Amino acid sequence: MNSMSSSFSSYAALARSRRSVRAFLPDPVPQPLLENLLETARQAPSGANLQPGRFWSLQGEARTRVSAALCEAVRTQQPEREEYGYFPQPMPMQLRKRQVASAQALYRSLGIARGDAAARQQQFERNYRFFDAPVALLVTLDRDFGSGGFMDLGLCLQGLLMAAHAEGLGACAIGALASYPDIVRQQLGLPDSEVVVCGMAIGWPDPQAPVNGTQTQREPLAQYFQVLD
């Protein structure tokens, strides 16, 4: 096996073994390691090398403040106000089935029954606590970017997830933060020019936590790849 084949095999194994991690050990992630992960992720392709997106590390009072405000918004059922569309409207049935299956896999791993609304609510609020991970990141995008900025930023986010996994860390992207962008900006003092894209939790995975064994299935190749001639 030549070096190129070996590298591909290593990457394929890494990509296929990555999972969203939602339970972490309390051990801190060294700042130099976090910075190295971000620098590695930033090597992702970027149209015209614009490198869109910013990462904000939330620590101390800032993290406590924004988490408390977001959890309160959920508990009091404040209206959500996303700034970009994530899900199709309306949701096609075949996609709805995938969404439901994903939720079922998560709650099954946690032992939360289908009708246990209180337990599901508590688990959902953990998104806004960054799953108690040592590292809590907020990801934003300058409002002036077009749709291509989201594409480039997504490539960078994938690079960050893979870089973390390669170092033995776990991570989970948190789209729920985009549901309350005004609260996030207000609590953190960010300008309105920053679109709240998502959050990310990073830390050392808790090997004893059943939730970290959650697996979702990917569609077979024939569903999304076709040859035209």
CA distance 188 to 67: 11
The β-bridge partners of 24 are 205
Q: What is the reported pTM?
A: 0.93
Domain spans in the chain, listed from the N-terminal domain onward: 20-206
Q: In 3D, which of 10, 74, 51, 33 has the Cα closest to residue 167?
A: 33
The β-bridge partners of 198 are 139
Beta strands in 58-168 (DSSP E): 135-142
CA distance 198 to 109: 24
Q: Residue 8 has what pLDDT?
A: 63
Q: Residue 111 has what pLDDT?
A: 92
Helices 31-41 and 147-166 sit at what angle, rounded to 10 degrees? 130
Sheet with 170-174: strands ordered across: 54-57, 135-142, 194-203, 170-174
Backbone CA torsion sign across 98, 102, 37, 145: positive
Distance of CA 15 to the CA centre of its chain: 16
Residues 20-206, CATH architecture:
3-Layer(aba) Sandwich (3.40)
Q: Residue 131 has what pLDDT?
A: 98
Q: In 3D, which of 39, 79, 67 has the Cα closest to residue 188?
A: 67
Q: Residue 174 has what pLDDT?
A: 98
Residues of the chain with confidence (pLDDT) below 50: none
Q: What is the pLDDT of residues 62-119, one digit of tens each?
A: 999 999 999 999 999 999 899 998 889 999 999 999 999 999 999 999 999 988 999 9
Contacts 24+ apart (CB under 8 A), 34-38: 34/135, 34/202, 36/163, 37/160, 37/163, 37/164, 37/167, 37/169, 37/202, 38/160
Q: Residue 62 has what pLDDT?
A: 98
Q: Residue 222 has what pLDDT?
A: 95
